[in-house]
Structure 1
């Protein structure tokens, strides 16, 4: 079995995120997670939201870790009962390329992503929203977790330091201005209906497709 990836940040923020998305996705049947990463969120949310199917996705280089996380979770089942039967193994998804069909469906009623927009290049963020506009059905819900700037200003010293670190890793990465994110969303028929405070100076943005 491959090494199981772990993020302390995911452990710290999963419960506050769940508190919001359990309401947002209360009527959803299928939620696509873009940028599943370590899959800690995927496992936790799928277990807590058994009424829906949680579809993982990421670039191919992260699939080994995602599969290891899911294998570990399934190995913890009692009497061979799969504790996360409603979670689907990862699809290859690059936001700049055509998005794969999810269970043969052209449209989705829920999309979630965490800590992705600030590590994407601006062109990828734009492609992300174009893809959302194409694949999220009318009245579908989009939730985005991560740090954002407001009025072109950092919300904390820690976010300012984090932005410097991001630029050192990749000059195309940066904490995004929420006004720009809202503008991109609106061009795809999405309206912001919730902006929730989260741990470590992060936010959870809830958009609905008109």
Structure 2
């Protein structure tokens, strides 16, 4: 992932976050509750957290990340933005016991994690979402997916090969496999939106 650092040396910045934040926000406006607390998983640099908290002021935004460097960046963005509805990041690894502050979110958002983590991370995300979301609460997942056993673009196929070369447990997931795992955890596929750069916005609803 391309990253650069703003002048303070702590706030990370990724070109991808700037490119995809508006299409993701458009989807979030359609599916998130009018108010409540959104738990963001694998928040990365923290730029998405700031952007969404700024544009969805009725929602409280709770970022998280397992990486210390990422959490420093998120905290620096939070201080820089000075938004009352944006919290400091949680140290949260989806495959480990979740902190108490991750209990009872109104919705969960996960951007670009599934393909750069082992399958066990996807399973853990879906399991915890099924446990923690309220009835009719949504889990929103963004990133590249395979559909019908095929990549949706040649660039995704090349990206998948590169990911698997970097780590054999990484790779673009089949949407059907994710949907099957979600169903096992009480989550129903609600909608799939095609977003720019051959990514999908996938929304699951807890029943």
What is the aligned counterpart of 1:195 among 174, 181, 192? 192
Question: Taking structure 1 as the reference length, what is the TM-score of the superposition?
Answer: 0.90
Which residue is equivalent to 2:99? 100
Aligned 1:139-158 pairs, distance under 5 A: 139-158=136-155
1:71 aligns with 2:70: no
Q: C-alpha separation between the residues in 2 aligned to 1:69 and 1:50?
A: 16
Give the deviation of 1:145 after TM superposition. 0.3
Give the deviation of 1:28 after TM superposition. 3.6
Which residue is equivalent to 2:60? 53
CA-to-partner distance for each residue in 1:79-128, whole Å, 9 max, x for gaps?
xxxxx2100110011111111123xx732220001000111101221112
Unmatched segments (≥5 aa) in structure 2: 1-7
What is the aligned counterpart of 1:35 among 38, 42, 67? 42
Q: C-alpha separation between the residues in 1 aligned to 2:139 and 2:124?
A: 15
CA contact (8 A) 2:146 2:173 kept: yes
RMSD in angstroms over aligned alpha carbons? 1.3
- CA shift in 2, pair 1:60/1:27, >3 Å: same
What is the aligned counterpart of 1:12 among 19, 39, 51? 19
Q: Residue 96 of structure 2 aligns to a residue in which SS? A: coil
Aligned residues: 199
Give the deviation of 1:201 after TM superposition. 0.1
